[in-house]
Amino acid sequence: MAALHFEFVSPERVLFSGDVDQVDLPGVEGDMGILAGHAPLVTALRPGILTIINGGSREAVVVIGGFAEVGPAGLTVLADKAVARDDYDTVTLAADIKDAEEDVTDATDDAQRDKLARRLEQLKTLQAALAQ
Amino acid sequence: MPSLKDLRNRIAATKATQKITKAMQMVAASKLRRAQATAEAARPYAASMEKVLGNIAASVGTLETAPRLLRGSGSDRVQLLLVCTAERGLCGPFNTAIVRHARERAIALMAEGKEVKFFCVGRKGYDQLRRQYANQIVELVDLRAARTLHFEHAEGIAEKVIARFEKFEFDACTLFFSRFRSVIAQIPTAQQVIPPLFDSKAADALGGATYEFEPEAEDILHELLPRNVAVQIFRALLENAASFYGAQMSAMDNATRNAGEMIRKQTLTYNRTRQAMITKELIEIISGAEAL
CATH number of the domain at B205, please.
3.40.1380.10
Tell me if B158 is assigned to some domain: yes
Q: What is the pLDDT of residue B208?
A: 57
Quote the CA–CA distance of A47 and B224 in Å, as a whole number: 16
pLDDT in tens, A33-91: 999 888 888 888 888 889 999 888 888 888 888 889 888 888 999 988 888 887 777 78
Work out how many domains chain B is built from and give that number.
1
Which tens digits make up the pLDDT trace of B35-74? 998 888 888 888 888 888 887 777 775 566 667 787 777 7
pLDDT in tens, A112-122: 778 788 788 88
Whether residue B22 is contained in a domain is answered as no
Q: How many CB pairs under 8 A join A and B?
A: 77
Please report whether residue B9 resides in a domain. Answer: no
In a domain, B105, yes or no: yes
Please give the span between the terminal C-alpha atoms of chain B, in angstroms, as a whole number: 32
Q: For residue B143, give how far its alpha carbon lies from the nearest alpha carbon of chain A (Å).
A: 19
At residue A99 the predicted structure's pLDDT band, cuts being 50, 70 and 90, is: confident
Collect all residues of chain B within an 8 Å Cβ-Cβ radius of residue A45: none
Look at residues B249, B237, B71 and name the one whose alpha carbon lies nearest to residue B154. Answer: B237
Q: How crowded is residue B212: how many other Cβ atoms within 10 Å of its Cβ?
A: 13
Return the residue of A nearest to B212 by Cα: A41
Shortest CA distance from A42: residue in chain B? B213
The per-residue pLDDT for range B68-98, each reduced to its tens digit, is 787 777 788 899 999 999 988 888 889 999 9
Q: Do B52 and A73 touch (CB under 8 A)?
A: no
pLDDT at A106: 80
Q: Is residue B28 part of a domain?
A: no
Q: B143 lies in a domain?
A: yes
- Chain B positions touching A73 (Cβ under 8 A) are 205
pLDDT beyond 70 at B202: no
Backbone angles phi, psi at B250, to 5 degrees: -70, -35
Residue B205: pLDDT above 70? no
Distance CA B88, CA B127 (A): 11
Distance CA A111, CA B134 (A): 41
Residue A7: its chain B contacts at CB < 8 A?
44, 48
Per the CB < 8 A criterion, the answer to whether B51 and A74 are in contact is no
In-domain check, residue B205: yes
User: With an 8 Å Cβ cutoff, are A11 and B224 in contact?
Assistant: no
Residue pair B151/A13 in contact by the 8 Å Cβ criterion: no
Per the CB < 8 A criterion, the answer to whether A6 and A18 are in contact is: yes
Any domain includes B27: no
- Nearest CB partner across the interface for A11, out of B209, B217, B234: B234
For B165, the domain range is 34-250
- Which positions ≥6 away from B256 have C-beta within 8 Å? B18, B21, B22, B25
- CB distance B224–A13 less than 8 Å? no
Q: Mind giving me the DSSP string for A2-37?
A: PPEEEEEE-SS-EEEEEEESEEEEEETTEEEEEETT
